[in-house]
């Protein structure tokens, strides 16, 4: 890759409303955009969208690495340190898209509901748009209040719809059993995502084996090593949420999930259109079939989403011109910092 050039620019984008999670509010998304170009006028795009709470490097760590080793990373992506999972994914997707034809994909999308009473209003609105898959974060309110909210949402779900619940690892085993007991019979609850924190996968698998509402892993799948543990150590049989933008190298990822495509669910980490496109492109390569978790677009209004918040996400929604616009705007904004 000696004839290629790597450029990068940091970005910051604010949530329209702070995202409420079990670990507290999230006010601002910071990341780094990549552009790879060659002497023939071709461009490849990537995005470093780290989430340290999910096992990736921090934004600062990615910045330090690029300042010291950006050309080395371009020429030898396999030499990127293992802990820089978001950086490795961004570089590899940028390089692999340099000479690849435009991807063609289409996925059913899941919409992330806001917390509290606003979730009911949002569900009604999104239902009119045709959404059939919804997600609500738990661990934000008191359990009784959240259970009442889940019941209210379930009561107005269309018959063919699915509600996914995301605890972000905030439950104890006792709390999980409490939830499973109170959710019994709600057949439109798709699964509870990461109910217990990483390190308690064996407990979750035992509870999953007991039947009832399925459990899914998310935070536990930090990087390819987490995927390897899921298959080989924990013998995980439930759904697996793949935050592709922070999973690292592509070839080990492809090998680890081979034959498990029916249990894979691709999920956003609040990327711009560049990261969204690349992660969906890889999701298509991996054979992901279930509704993806990219209904996060309403959390930003800066024009960098590219994709529209619609029930179906398709490759025809974006084009390279959008990537260039985002890149130019990011360069302009960062030059003023």
Q: What is the pLDDT of residues 115-134, one digit of tens each?
A: 778 899 999 999 999 999 99
Q: Judging by DSSP bridges, how do beta strands 189-193 and 162-166 pair with one another?
A: parallel
pLDDT tens-digit map of 187-234? 999 999 999 999 999 999 999 999 999 999 999 997 778 888 999 999
Other Cβ atoms less than 10 A from the Cβ of 102: the count is 12
Whether 193 and 167 have beta carbons less than 8 Å apart is answered as yes
CA pair distance 109, 114, nearest whole angstrom: 16
- DSSP per-residue codes, 152-221: HHHHHS-TT-EEEEE-TT---HHHHHHHHHHHTT-TTEEEEES-S-TT-HHHHHHHHHT-SS-EEBSTT-
Predicted pLDDT at 127: 93
Say if domain 5-101+324-335 classifies as CATH 3.40.50.740.
no
Looking at residue 102, its pLDDT comes to: 83
pLDDT at 111: 92
Map out the domains of the chain as residue ranges: 5-101+324-335, 106-317
Please give the chain's pLDDT, 337 residues, in tens.
Answer: 558 899 999 999 999 988 776 667 889 999 999 999 987 889 999 999 999 988 899 999 999 999 999 889 999 999 999 999 999 999 999 999 988 888 899 999 999 898 778 899 999 999 999 999 999 999 888 999 999 999 999 999 988 999 999 998 999 999 999 999 999 999 999 999 999 999 999 999 999 999 999 999 999 997 778 888 999 999 999 999 999 999 999 999 999 999 899 999 999 999 999 999 999 999 999 999 999 999 888 889 999 999 988 999 999 999 889 999 999 999 999 987 6
CATH fourth-level superfamily of 106-317: Enolase-like C-terminal domain (3.20.20.120)
Give pLDDT, residue 337: 61
């Amino acid at each position: 890759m000696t004839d290629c050039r790597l450029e990068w620019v940091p970005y910051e984008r604010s949530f329209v409303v702070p995202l409420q999670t079990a670990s507290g509010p999230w006010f601002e998304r910071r990341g780094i955009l990549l552009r790879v170009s060659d002497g023939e006028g071709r461009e490849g795009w990537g995005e470093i969208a780290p989430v340290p709470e999910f096992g990736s490097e921090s934004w600062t760590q990615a910045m330090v690495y690029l300042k010291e080793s950006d050309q080395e990373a371009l020429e030898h992506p396999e030499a990127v340190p293992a802990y820089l999972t978001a950086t490795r994914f961004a570089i590899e997707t940028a390089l692999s898209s340099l000479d690849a034809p435009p991807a063609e994909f289409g996925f059913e999308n899941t919409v992330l509901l806001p917390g509290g009473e606003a979730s009911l209003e949002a569900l009604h609105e999104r239902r009119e748009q045709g959404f059939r898959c919804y997600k609500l974060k738990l661990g934000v309110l008191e359990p009784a209040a959240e259970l009442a909210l889940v019941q209210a949402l379930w009561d107005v779900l269309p018959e063919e719809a699915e509600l996914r619940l995301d605890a972000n690892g905030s439950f104890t085993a006792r709390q999980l059993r409490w939830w499973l007991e109170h959710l019994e019979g709600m057949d439109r609850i798709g699964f509870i995502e990461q109910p217990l924190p990483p390190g308690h996968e064996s407990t979750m698998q035992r509870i999953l084996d007991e039947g009832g509402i399925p459990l899914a892993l998310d935070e536990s799948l930090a990087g390819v090593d987490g995927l390897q543990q899921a298959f080989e150590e924990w013998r995980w049989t439930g759904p697996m949420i793949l935050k592709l933008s922070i999973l690292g190298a592509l070839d080990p990822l492809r090998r680890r999930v081979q034959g498990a495509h029916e249990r894979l669910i691709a999920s956003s980490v609040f990327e711009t259109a560049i990261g969204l496109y690349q992660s969906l492109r890889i999701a298509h390569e991996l054979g992901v079939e279930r509704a993806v978790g990219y209904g996060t677009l309403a959390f930003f209004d800066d024009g960098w989403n590219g994709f529209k918040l619609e029930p179906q996400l398709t490759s025809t929604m974006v084009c390279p011109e959008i990537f260039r616009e985002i890149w130019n705007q990011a360069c302009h904004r960062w030059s003023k910092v």
